[in-house]
Amino acid sequence: MSASAWTERAVTVLETIEQAGRTRALRALRVLDGRTALRDDRVVLLCASNNYLGLAHHPRVRAAAQGALETHGLGSTGSRMTTGHSALHEQLEIALAKHRGTDAALLFNTGYMANLAVMTTFAREGDVLFSDELNHASLIDGCRMSRARVVVYRHGDVSDLEEKLRVTPVSGLRIIVTDGVFSMDGDLAPLADLVRLKRAWNALLIVDDAHATGVLGPRGEGTAAHFGMAAHEIDLHVGTLSKALGSEGGYVAGAQTLIAWLRQAARPFMFSTALSPAVIAGAHAALHIAADESERRERMHSRARELRMALQARGFAASQGITPIIPVRIGDAGAALALSAHLDQMGVFAPAIRPPSVPEGTSRIRLTVTADHTREDVETVANAFASFASR
């Protein structure tokens, strides 16, 4: 293909995206803390951040990162297999495994890479991956990149999954794959039922707990702990450092043998420069705070309940749930964009979520709450929604 033909293809693709109303623009923000950001020289209320516990700017987290920066420098300088591995990485993996209640854990540069690593390392030809239809894109892409057959079951529908387990021929392993907390709706996987099916069909169970890490469970251990289940009921837990822990990166936790297999064979691990020491040190400090300061989690959950009720009182269909993710479904993408623009004018930053991030006809405002939000912030957001409805 010539360079000009390549350019023509790019123009065609971009025009198709624009005609479908799906063009996206990057928005420059300077996040100030867990509740506000600077946008176009205005301080706005931040209602789209995954910084659920407000730890990204916590003094102890920043001090830990700065200390590591002074001691170790900025970059890790290589992959974990060469020069990138440090005692900081090892200490955090031990702490993450202990927090999760598993034998071991392995760090990855992003949660996306962690999911790709799990799917492409463990799933082989002859295996079948049973995947929830609303799983995160990283799980979907990991399934596609694996050599296994992929069977998609209806979202959270245990009966549909059970039927597919029954009728699908399998020559290798059955592997059930699900988000613990679904990122666009904030609802939880029916984990107890999935464990029951796992036992009945001798399957493996992989749970992406990115939005549950630090958020659910007595000490933020995740979805399994929230349901009072032992960690070993889940074969592999995928977690993140980039949401409630306010840092960046992902990890996989599970049995020692499975983590050793990832360490030796997962290409996203082997061929990536290691996370920087500052990122690792900050995440480790955040993990301790998340585990020890339960009042942060309680405050986050309280604000989420209050915002749901405030929106519902003003006639908006804010979804029920127990997580800090509160989708307000609008349906039409254009209407969702209009509401988002109005909220921005009112000093509330809450972008519209449109296809392909969500299914056609389910565009929404995806609100998120952090431990730093106040009751006054809740009223500000709810009133901004109400002022749009009364125009």
Q: Which of 58, 89, 136, 211 is catalytic?
A: 211
3-state secondary structure of 341: helix
> Which residue, chain included where needed, has tokens 């001090």?
63
Indicate if 198 belongs to the active site: no
3-state secondary structure of 110: coil
Beta pairing class for 363-368 and 352-353: antiparallel
328 membership: H or E segment, kind and range: strand 325-331
Burial of residue 391, with CB atoms counted within 10 A of its CB: 0-12 exposed, 13-18 middle, 19 or more buried: exposed
Distances, alpha carbon 264 to alpha carbons 87, 106, 280, in Å: 19, 11, 21
199 membership: H or E segment, kind and range: helix 191-200
Indicate if 243 belongs to the active site: yes
Q: Which two tokens stand for residue 39?
A: 């946008």
Nearest alpha carbon to residue 171 among 149, 153, 196: 149
Q: Which of 58, 243, 284, 301 is catalytic?
A: 243
8-state DSSP, 170: -
Indicate if 98 belongs to the active site: no
What is the C-alpha separation between 366 and 386, in angstroms, rounded? 16
Q: Are the C-beta atoms of 265 and 194 separated by less than 8 Å?
A: no
156 membership: H or E segment, kind and range: none
Q: Are the C-beta atoms of 117 and 262 separated by less than 8 Å?
A: yes
Taking residue 72's Cβ as centre, other Cβ atoms within 10 Å add up to: 18
What is the C-alpha separation between 266 and 280, in angstroms, rounded? 20
Nearest alpha carbon to residue 292 among 372, 390, 208, 219: 219
Q: Which of 49, 146, 183, 272 is catalytic?
A: 183
Q: Are the C-beta atoms of 275 and 107 separated by less than 8 Å?
A: yes
What amino acid positions are annotated as catalytic residues?
A: 183, 211, 243
